[in-house]
Chain A
Amino acid sequence: MSTKPLSPAPAGAGAGGPTTVAEAEARAQRWRGLGPRVRRFGVIGTFLLAFAVFAILKPDEFLSWDNFSNILSSAAVPAIVACGLTVPLIMDDFDLSIGGVLAFIGSLVVVLQATNDWNYELAMLFGLLAAVAIGLLNGLLIARLGGSSFVITLALGSVYAGLVLWVTDSQTIYSGLKPGFLSFGQDSLLGIRLPIIYAIVIAVALFLLTERTVLGRKFYAVGENSTAAYLTGMPVKRLRTYGLVLSALAAGFGGMVLFAQAGSTYANAGSPFLLAGFSAAFLGAALRSNGRFSVLGSAISVVLVQTVATGLVIVSLPSWTINVFEGSILAVAILLAPQVRIWK
Chain B
Amino acid sequence: MTPAENASDPAGRANASGRGIAVEGLNKRYAAVVALADVSLSFAPGEITGIVGKNGAGKSTLIKVLSGAVRPDSGTVLVDGHPVSLGQPSDALHRGILTMHQQLETFGGLTVAENLLLGTPHFPRGPGGMVRWRTLWKRAEAVLEKLRVEIDPRAPMDGLSVADRRMVTLARALVDDDGRMVILDEPTESLTAAEADHLFERMRELRARGICVIYVSHRLEEISAMSDRIVAMRDGEVIADGATAEFDRARLVELIAGPEEAKPSPAAIPASQRQPLLVAEGLSGPGVAPSSFSLHEGEIVGLCGLAGSGRSALARLLAGATRAEHGTLRIGEQEHSFGGPHDAILAGVVFVPEDRRQQALFPTFTLEEDVVAGSLEKLRWGRTPFVSRRAQKRAATAAIADFNIAAAGGEQLTQTLSGGNQQKVVLARWLSTGGRVLVLDEPTQGIDVGTRAEISAQVRSAVEGGGCALWISSDFEEILTVSDRLLIMREHQVVAEISPKGLSQAELLSACLPDQPDPAAAEAAGAHG
Interface residues of chain A, those whose CB is within 8 Å of chain B, are 1, 3-11, 13-14, 16-19, 21-22, 25-26, 208, 212-215, 217-218, 220-221, 224-225, 227-235, 290-292, 339
Contact = CB atoms under 8 A, between A and B. Distances in A.
A291 B364 contact: yes
Contacts of B219: none
B75 A7 contact: yes
B196 interface: no
Given A3-B74, A22-B87, A292-B364, 5 more contacts: A13-B76, A14-B84, A217-B369, A224-B363, A225-B360
Contacts of B359: 225, 227-228, 231
Contacts, number: 127
B37 interface: yes
Given A213-B385, A232-B373, A11 B364 contact: no
Pick from A18, A213, A224, A233 the residue with the most CB of B within 10 Å. Answer: A233
Contacts of A221: 362, 365, 373
15 contacts: A6-B24, A7-B24, A13-B84, A13-B85, A14-B87, A19-B87, A22-B91, A208-B386, A212-B387, A225-B358, A227-B359, A230-B321, A230-B341, A231-B351, A292-B364
B47 to A, nearest CB: 23
A19 B369 contact: no
Contact of B387 (A3, A8, A217): A217
B87 A18 contact: yes
B463 interface: no
A232 B87 contact: no
Contacts of A220: 362, 365, 369
A230 B379 CA distance: 19
Interface in B429-478: 429-430, 433
Interface string B369-391: 10001101101100001110000
A231 B319 contact: yes
Nearest to B351: A231
B376 A4 contact: no
Nearest to B430: A232
Nearest to A12: B85
B369 A213 contact: no
Pick from B83, B319, B358 the residue with the most CB of A within 10 Å. Answer: B83
Given A4-B38, A7-B24, A231-B351, A215 B385 contact: yes
A6 B38 CA distance: 10
Given A231-B341, A231-B360, A339-B364, A1 B34 contact: yes
A19 B37 CA distance: 28
In order of increasing CB-CB distance, the 10 nearest A-B pairs are: A14-B85, A18-B87, A224-B362, A13-B83, A22-B87, A233-B345, A9-B83, A7-B76, A1-B37, A233-B342
B341 A233 contact: yes
B386 A214 contact: yes
B25 interface: yes
Contacts of B374: 232-233
Nearest to B16: A8
A3 B85 contact: no
A5 B364 contact: no
Pick from A5, A218, A231 the residue with the most CB of B within 10 Å. Answer: A231
A18 B94 CA distance: 14
A265 to B, nearest CB: 37
Nearest to A6: B25
Contacts of B82: 9
B287 to A, nearest CB: 17
Given A231-B360, A233-B433, A290-B364, A9 B76 contact: yes
A231 B430 CA distance: 10
Contacts of A212: 386-387
A287 B380 CA distance: 29
Nearest to A222: B362
B360 A228 contact: yes
A213 B87 CA distance: 47
A138 to B, nearest CB: 22
B298 interface: no
Given A9-B83, A14-B83, A1 B342 contact: no
Pick from A220, A224, A227, A235 the residue with the most CB of B within 10 Å. Answer: A224
A231 B321 contact: yes
B73 interface: yes
A202 to B, nearest CB: 17
B106 interface: no
Interface in B340-369: 340-342, 344-346, 351, 353, 358-365, 369
Contacts of B360: 225, 228, 231
A21 B88 contact: yes
Contacts of A8: 16
B10 to A, nearest CB: 21
Contacts of A25: 88
Interface in B311-363: 319, 321, 340-342, 344-346, 351, 353, 358-363
